[in-house]
Structure 1
Amino acid sequence: MGTETRHLSVHIDRPVAAVYAFASDPANLPRWAPGLGGSVTREGGAWFVDTPAGRAGLTFAPPNDYGVLDHEVRTPSGETVYVPLRAIADGDGTEVVFSLRRARGMSDAEFERDTALVESDLARLKAVLESTD
């Protein structure tokens, strides 16, 4: 049996190119996903975020024309978490879809907590992007 996955989405009233440009820049993460960490830095070609548990590494999908915003987070404990994320054109706007995967051994309460955190981040992404010109 595969991992349980929830596809969480939000519609953003901005063109897909604008959403992709903003969300694909790791430096913008603190503005819309503050739970991941408060400060993002680039050292050489690598991105890092300071989390409550320590420093984590970030690797984003290479720039592409398909709206793929997938990234990996290397936690301070050494675990790598794959994060599927897409920006999909939806008329004049964009649908952003985050595929939340339930980690092995995660309780129902933990999965619900993570779901609420991702939904909050997506709502923040929508608010930030719809408030810019």
Structure 2
Amino acid sequence: MNSADTHSRHLSVRIDRTVDDVYAYASDPANLPAWAHGLGGSIENVDGRWIAESSPMGRVVVAFAPRNALGVLDHDVTLPSGETVYNPVRVIAGGSGSEVVFTLRRRPETSDDDFERDAGAVAADLARLKELMEAS
């Protein structure tokens, strides 16, 4: 069912915008519905917590690392079950633009097919982020 040697995968996209531009946009949870469809089509700040009601996983709470000068966009997603999934993400300099790197961590119960679907969803989200950033 699971491949023991596949615990995480790094997915990335190069964006022809500065690190500061990409970080400012991607670190704002209000922008998530535009590019991170894996978290759903809407998100709102409720009493200081960012809640996505319409995510494919159900109601989830998203908590980003504090804003920083290092391009760290790590975020926790707390699932309806109460389980919290840690998602490491970085925006790094890449020539005249930037690169966004998402580390997809495989949870123990995830099948090979589900992990591939998750990777495809993350890649699609990163492609949307690129498209939005380069269009503006």
Please provide the CA RMSD for this pair: 1.4
Q: Which stretches of structure 1, 4 residues or more, deviate above 4 A after TM superposition? A: none
Report the more deviating stretch, 51-60 or 119-128: 51-60
Q: Tell me what 1:95 maps to.
A: 99
Q: TM-score, normalised by structure 1?
A: 0.94
| Alignment coverage as a number of residue pairs | 132
State the match for 1:111 in structure 2. 115
Amino acid at match of 1:89: A
Residue type of the alignment partner of 1:73: V
**What does residue 130 of structure 1 align with?**
134
What is the CA deviation profile of residues 91-120 of structure 1, one whole-angstrom value per residue up to 9, with x for unaligned ones? 220000000011102111111111111111
* DSSP 3-state at the match of 1:78: coil
Unaligned runs of 5+ residues in structure 2 are none
Shift of 1:3: 6.7
Q: Distance in 2 between matches of 1:52 and 1:5?
A: 21
Are the structure 2 counterparts of residues 100 and 52 from structure 1 closer, same or farther at C-alpha, using a change threshold of 3 Å? closer
Retained in 1: the 8 A contact 2:38–2:122?
no
Q: Output the CA distance in 1 between the equivalents of 2:56 and 2:94.
A: 36
What secondary structure, in the 3-state scheme, does the structure 2 residue paired with 1:39 have?
coil
Aligned to 1:73: 77
| Superposition map of 1:1-133 within 5 A | 4-50=7-53, 51-132=55-136
Partners of 2:56 and 2:87 in 1: CA distance: 19
Q: Distance in 1 between matches of 2:36 and 2:134?
A: 16
Q: Deviations over 1:60-95 (max 9, x none)?
A: 000100000000001111110000000001122000
Query: Could you give the per-residue CA deviations for residues 12-70 of structure 1, whole angstroms, max 9, x where no partner exists?
Result: 00000000000000010010011211111002221111124432111100010000000
CA distance in 1: counterparts of 2:57 and 2:73, whole angstroms? 24
Give TM-score scaled by structure 2 length: 0.92
For the Cα contact (< 8 Å) 1:3–1:103, is it kept in 2? no
